[in-house]
């Protein structure tokens, strides 16, 4: 029993964090679609979960959870979870995936639209007759309005006759993408809390920093508690996925719901603490607010995951892992 | 990172489960009644005979030298078995960690083995009428006299003091506020004890009047004037995992889900499942905290996050059970549990104070 990340796992996250600080600063969110991707690719980020025969490192999901948190903390745009996590389960054999040269989006059961599909070289689409690998050339994309300016959504149409059919079940990819998204939500929530605390320390009203008022303190403390107790559920879900634990479906849903709720609480409080300036397009905060909302809805809404947990637990599955 | 119990840990769990399955008594009368206090004390002696009363303590004091993970396993099994609340809890969870860390070898030898068996039952004496959340405002004093000290003043909300044999608390030996407080232990024989009935009508706490009560030098814990630091080490463990390990909340959550399965209103069932998941979150978080403590890290102010989380979870669970049961609640153990859970956000530092601590000392917001 050692429920703490190893030095290697934390070092990977620190490297990702440094790269994104340098190459995905908040300003880049306004001007670039995939800031920092080239540098992440150079680190081998897109091959972390791929097996060695696909030029990957063959790591488990739990190994990369802290690194995925960092992509959320940086509000990294682009189909990160789809390319680095889902693709590794769905299309590991695609050449050059590990190098980051191939960008992937997915439209799996539970998703309504494919995120960042306009950037994708390949889109994996689940249909009534199984999974199809849709190339950029054969996809007809229709943009759909979304909440997140850095995570545009698309409807995908294609001619099935011209698209390769993929074998294998979709559930492993879906579970991984869901946990990876939950990890990003934890990162988003941590950043929202950090910027709100920083603002509350310097913003002065009535002659005092607003962070000295208990009404402000207690809201921020509640965010800290929510994040603190959502994160272990996400860590456990990653271990359950890696270990093929019997309760994995329930544990993945518990993690996604908790992370989504923590992030939306963090967003709500962040906006309240910032006040009117937070309610503007010009403050970078808007990107993290939008990311909390968009990822909470991605790979199953909080309500959908709560439903799944409720059905499992009320149905008698009160087994504990560990 | 992993979540795997070792073969030895699984074996220990099986032993505890087996022993409790055979020996755990049914519900006892409340420990805050004379007959219940005696029954709970007798149960502590049986636990001690099996070396299960204080598994994480060193063997010389009645424990097994078990790891923190083993202790968490013990707690899970203990509460799952529906075993009695611990009448010794103020001593074994609050005073003992301070004795181990700050006490002399003689003090440890004298007090810990008796505490482990329930031979002595300790009451805590923190609060005073004008010093609750603001504990440093306390005014009880200790005056030096030949061979020791004379204690005078007025303590209140002293848990277990109605029937306990001993107490521990802070007394001013000099200075103001946090400086000049000293940690004393004292027998309750010479203290005027006025039991106070709680919401359940039973005297779960008491007022203590000290009118020059003599305490010899051996009853001082740690250095003179260092009481605040020592007490904070205690309250940190009280807020953190020692007093309220996940086991008790896991057991409550399981019982709540069983109760909610038959709920006509799906919204109530949904709330029960949320509580169940939150109890799991507390358990997982505690495994992480245990890892930190075992690696020699201090938990510090972060313990306040746990205190807010478990106390409000416990209250949510019991309040939901009251809603589910309606007028039938009074005929079940949920009523007592509900009343007890209402105290959680108050004792060990109110949750308002905990949120201030989180904001100031974890997040770094200005005072």
- DSSP per residue, B71-129: HHHHHHHHHHTTPPP-TTHIIIIIIHHHHHHHS-HHHHHHHHHHHHHTSS-EEEE--BT
Res A1: pLDDT: 92
Read off φ and ψ for residue B166, nearest 5 degrees: -140, 165
Whether residues A1 and B69 touch (CB distance < 8 A) is answered with yes
Whether residues B352 and A214 touch (CB distance < 8 A) is answered with yes
Instruction: Kindly identify which residue of chain B lies nearest to residue A320, measuring between CA atoms.
Output: B280
**pLDDT (tens digit per residue) in B208-227:** 999 999 999 999 999 999 99
Task: Determine the angle formed by the axes of helices B303-325 and B334-343, rounding to 10 degrees.
Answer: 150
Neighbours of A159 (CB within 10 A): 10
State which H helix or E strand residue B310 sits in. helix B303-325
Q: What percent of chain B has pLDDT over 90?
A: 90
Overall pTM surpassing 0.90 (yes/no): yes
Does the pLDDT of residue B11 top 60, yes or no?
yes
Neighbours of A179 (CB within 10 A): 32
Whether residue A142 contacts residue A203, with contact meaning beta carbons closer than 8 Å, is answered with no
Asked if B26 reaches chain A (Cβ–Cβ under 8 Å), the answer is: no
Res A173: pLDDT: 98
**pLDDT (tens digit per residue) in A142-197:** 999 999 999 999 999 999 888 999 998 999 999 999 999 999 999 999 999 999 99
Q: Which residues 110-169 in chain B show a CB within 8 A of chain A?
A: none
CA distance B32 to chain A (A): 33
Q: Binning pLDDT at 50, 70 and 90, where does residue A278 land?
A: very high
Spell out which residues of chain A touch residue B4, defining contact as CB-CB under 8 Å. Answer: 1, 322
- Over residues B283-296, mean pLDDT: 92
Place of tokens 């389960």: A89
Q: Which residues 229-268 in chain A show a CB within 8 A of chain B?
A: 229-230, 232-233, 235-236, 239, 254, 257-258
Whether residues A9 and B1 touch (CB distance < 8 A) is answered with yes
Residues in chain A: 322
Res A92: pLDDT: 95
Q: What percent of chain A has pLDDT over 70?
A: 100
Q: What is the longest distance spanned by two Cα atoms in chain B?
A: 70
CA distance B226 to chain A (A): 29
The two tokens of residue A194 are 């950090």
Does the pLDDT of residue B239 top 70, yes or no?
no
Please list, in sequence order, all residues whose beta carbon lies within 8 angstroms of the beta carbon of residue A75, skipping any fewer than 6 positions away.
A24, A26, A29, A150, A188, A191, A287, A288, A291
**pLDDT (tens digit per residue) in A81-104:** 999 999 999 999 999 999 999 999
d(CA A37, CA A44): 11
Active site residue B238: yes
Structural domains for chain B: 7-87 (1.10.540.10), 122-225 (2.40.110.10), 240-362 (1.20.140.10)
**pLDDT (tens digit per residue) in B300-355:** 888 999 999 999 999 999 999 999 999 999 999 999 999 999 999 999 889 999 99
Does the pLDDT of residue B154 top 90, yes or no?
yes
The two tokens of residue A268 are 């709500």
Spell out which residues of chain A touch residue B365, defining contact as CB-CB under 8 Å. Answer: 197, 200-201, 209, 211-212, 216-217, 220
Query: By C-alpha distance, which of A304, A293, A28, A300 is closest to A147?
Result: A293
Asked if B6 reaches chain A (Cβ–Cβ under 8 Å), the answer is: yes
Whether residues B281 and A233 touch (CB distance < 8 A) is answered with yes
Q: Binning pLDDT at 50, 70 and 90, where does residue B262 land?
A: confident
Res B300: pLDDT: 85
Does the pLDDT of residue B236 top 70, yes or no?
no
CB pairs under 8 A between A and B: 139
B/e letters for B114-148, b = 16+ CB within 10 Å, e = fewer, are bbbbbebbbbbbbbbeebbeebeebebbbeeeeeb
The architecture that CATH gives domain A171-314 is: Up-down Bundle (1.20)
For residue A199, what are the CA distances in angstroms to A20, A145, A220, A278, B277? 22, 31, 12, 10, 33
Res B298: pLDDT: 81
**pLDDT (tens digit per residue) in B165-179:** 999 999 999 999 999
Whether residue A37 contacts residue A78, with contact meaning beta carbons closer than 8 Å, is answered with yes
Instruction: Kindly identify which residue of chain B lies nearest to residue A234, measuring between CA atoms.
Output: B281
Neighbours of B181 (CB within 10 A): 28
**pLDDT (tens digit per residue) in B293-314:** 888 888 888 899 999 999 999 9
d(CA A219, CA A271): 11
Does the pLDDT of residue B240 top 60, yes or no?
no
């Amino acid at each position: 029993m050692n429920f703490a990340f190893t030095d290697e796992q934390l070092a990977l996250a620190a490297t990702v964090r440094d790269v994104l600080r340098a190459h995905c600063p908040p300003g880049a969110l306004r001007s670039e679609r995939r800031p920092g991707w080239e540098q992440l690719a150079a680190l081998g980020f897109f091959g972390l979960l791929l097996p060695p025969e696909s030029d990957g490192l063959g790591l488990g999901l739990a190994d990369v959870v802290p690194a995925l948190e960092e992509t959320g903390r940086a509000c990294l745009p682009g189909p990160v979870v789809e390319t680095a996590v889902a693709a590794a389960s769905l299309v590991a054999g695609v050449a050059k995936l590990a190098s980051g040269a191939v960008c992937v989006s997915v439209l799996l059961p539970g998703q309504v639209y494919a995120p960042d599909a306009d950037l994708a070289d390949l889109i994996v689409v689940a249909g009534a007759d199984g999974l199809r690998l849709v190339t950029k050339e054969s996809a007809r994309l229709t943009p759909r309005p979304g909440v997140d300016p850095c995570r545009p959504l698309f409807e995908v149409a294609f001619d099935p006759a011209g698209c390769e059919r993929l074998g294998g079940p979709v559930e492993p990819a879906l579970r991984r993408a869901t946990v990876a998204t939950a990890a990003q939500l934890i990162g988003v929530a941590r950043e929202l809390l950090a910027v709100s605390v920083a603002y509350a320390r310097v913003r002065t009203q009535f002659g005092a920093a607003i962070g000295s008022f208990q009404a402000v303190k207690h809201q921020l403390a509640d965010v800290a508690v929510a994040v603190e107790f959502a994160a272990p559920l996400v860590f456990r879900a990653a271990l359950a996925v890696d270990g093929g634990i019997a309760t994995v479906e329930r544990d993945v849903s518990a993690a996604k719901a908790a992370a989504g709720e923590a992030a939306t609480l963090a967003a709500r409080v962040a906006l309240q603490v910032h006040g009117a300036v937070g309610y503007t397009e010009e403050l970078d905060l808007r990107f993290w607010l939008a990311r909390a909302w968009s990822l909470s809805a991605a790979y199953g809404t909080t309500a959908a995951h709560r439903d799944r947990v409720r059905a499992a637990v009320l149905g008698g599955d009160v087994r504990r892992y560990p | 990172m992993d979540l795997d119990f070792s073969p030895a840990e699984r074996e220990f769990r099986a032993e505890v489960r087996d022993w409790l399955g055979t020996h755990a008594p049914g519900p006892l009368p409340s420990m805050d009644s004379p007959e219940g206090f005696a029954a709970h004390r007798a149960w502590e002696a049986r636990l001690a005979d099996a070396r299960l009363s204080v598994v994480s303590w060193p063997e010389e004091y009645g424990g097994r030298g078990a790891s923190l993970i083993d202790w968490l396993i013990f707690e899970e099994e203990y509460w799952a078995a529906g075993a009695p609340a611990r009448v010794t809890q103020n001593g074994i969870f609050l005073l003992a960690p301070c004795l181990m860390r700050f006490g002399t070898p003689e003090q440890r030898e004298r007090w810990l083995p008796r505490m482990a068996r329930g031979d002595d039952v300790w009451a805590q004496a923190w609060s005073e009428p004008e010093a609750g959340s603001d504990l440093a405002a306390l005014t009880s004093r200790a005056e030096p006299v030949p061979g020791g000290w004379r204690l005078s003043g007025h303590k209140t909300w002293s848990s277990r003091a109605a029937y306990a044999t001993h107490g521990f608390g802070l007394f001013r030996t000099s200075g103001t506020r946090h400086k000049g407080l000293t940690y004393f232990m004292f027998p309750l024989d010479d203290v005027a004890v006025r039991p106070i009935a709680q919401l359940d009508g039973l005297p779960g706490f008491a007022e203590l009047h000290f009118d020059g009560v003599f305490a010899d030098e051996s009853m001082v814990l740690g250095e003179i004037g260092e009481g605040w630091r020592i007490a904070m080490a205690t309250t940190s463990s009280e807020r953190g995992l020692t007093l309220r390990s996940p086991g008790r909340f896991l057991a409550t959550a399981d019982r709540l889900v069983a109760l909610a399965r038959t709920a006509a209103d799906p919204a109530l069932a949904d709330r029960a499942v949320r509580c169940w998941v939150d109890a799991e979150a507390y358990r997982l978080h505690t495994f992480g905290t245990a890892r930190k403590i075992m690696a020699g890290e201090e938990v510090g102010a972060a313990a306040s996050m746990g205190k807010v989380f478990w106390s409000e979870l416990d209250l949510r669970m019991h309040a939901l059970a009251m809603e589910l049961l309606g007028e039938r609640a009074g005929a079940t153990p949920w009523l007592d549990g509900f009343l007890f859970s209402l105290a959680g956000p108050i004792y060990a530092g109110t949750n308002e104070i905990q949120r201030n601590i989180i904001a100031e000392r974890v997040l770094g917001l200005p005072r």
